[in-house]
A and B are shown apart, each in its own frame.
Chain A
Amino acid sequence: MLNYNSPLVKENSYSELSMKVINPIMKLIIRGKKREFLSGVGKAINMILPTESCTSSTSNDTTALWLSPDEWMILSNNVIDKNTNSYEQENHLINNISKINLGAVVDVTDQYVLINIEGKKIFDLLSTGCPFNFNDFRNKKGGVIQSLMAKIDIIVHHKEINNVNLLVRRSFSEHLYSFLSDAASRI
C-alpha cells in the first residue's frame, strides 16, 4: 500500500445514505482466456470466477468481479495490512497464472479507491450522473457493471441490497467523491 494521505473525507452521512472510503483493500486485475486459466485461478484463490456477464462471486475472504469476458477484478473482503505490498493470494496467482503464461495478474490496490455506499437511496444517487438503467440492477444482488458517473469510469458492485461498492481510479476519486457528496445532499 502506498504511503498516501487521501484527501477524501473518510465518512459522509446524509438522509438514508452514507458513504465511506474503505482502505486498504487488496485489488487485483486478472486476465486470461484459456480453460486452464480459469481452473488455475480457481485453485489459487479457492473460488470459481464468475463467467456470466455482469455478475460476481464471493467466498469468505475474497470477491471476484466480472469485468469483461477475459478480465476479472479480485478484491479482499476485509481490510488488509497497511504496510505490505505483497499478498498471499497475489503470490498464489502469480505462481499459478503469470509464471506459466496462462494469463496476467496485476496489482491495482493503489490505483483504485473503494467507496462503500449504504442506504435506501443509493440508486437515486447513482442516477444523478450515470446513464445506466438501474431498474433491474437494484434487485439483483451480486451484480457488477462498469459505466460512467459524471463522465468518470466507475465499477459498481451491488454487494447486498442497499449496499453498493463503487470502484474508481484514484486520480478521479476526489472529484467523484465531491460530486457524490453534493448530489447526496440534494436528494
Chain B
Amino acid sequence: MFLINCPFCGEREQSEFKAGGEAHISRPKQPTELSDDEWAEYLFMRKNIKGIQFERWNHSHGCRKWFNIARDTSNDQIKAVYKMGQKPPVI
C-alpha cells in the first residue's frame, strides 16, 4: 500500500486507484498490415521491469481521471506524476 498524489485531487491512498498498466504504448496506425506476432506484441507484451516504470493509473473512486506515474517497481516509490498527454519526465 502506498500513497499516490492524484494531479487533480491531491494525495490519496492507493485503494482509491486502479492500475492501468504500462504507459506510452501507441496503437499501430495500420493494424491490418501487422502480422499476428506484431499484433500480439502490441496487445500483450509488457516490459514489467524492476526499476522505474511509467504507468497509467485511474483515480476510480475519486475524480475518475486517468494520469501517468513513474514508479520504482522495486520499492513502490513514485518519482513523478504527470497528466495524460504530457511527455514522460526524465528521471
Residues of chain A touching chain B, judged by Cβ–Cβ distance below 8 Å, are 53-54, 67-69, 71, 131-133, 145-148, 153
B61 close to A68 (CB less than 8 A): no
A148 close to B8 (CB less than 8 A): no
B10 close to A53 (CB less than 8 A): yes
Q: Which of these binds chain A: B11-19, B31-39, B73-81?
A: B11-19
Of the A-B pairs whose beta carbons lie under 8 Å apart in the complex, a sample of 6, sorted by A's number, is A54-B10, A69-B8, A69-B63, A131-B12, A131-B15, A145-B62
Residues of chain B touching chain A, judged by Cβ–Cβ distance below 8 Å, are 8-13, 15-16, 61-65
Q: How many cross-chain pairs have Cβ atoms below 8 Å apart between A and B?
A: 38
B11 close to A148 (CB less than 8 A): no
User: Chain A at the B interface: mostly helix, strand, loop or mixed?
Assistant: strand
Known: A53-B10, A68-B63. 5 other contacts (CB 8 A): A53-B63, A131-B12, A131-B15, A146-B9, A153-B61
Which residues of B sit under 8 angstroms from A69, Cβ to Cβ? Answer: 8, 63, 65
A148 close to B64 (CB less than 8 A): no
Task: Enumerate the 10 nearest inter-chain pairs by beta-carbon distance, A residue then B residue, closest first.
Answer: A68-B63, A131-B13, A146-B62, A148-B61, A153-B61, A53-B8, A131-B15, A69-B8, A68-B64, A53-B9
With CB as the reference atom, state the residue of chain B lying closest to A151. Answer: B15
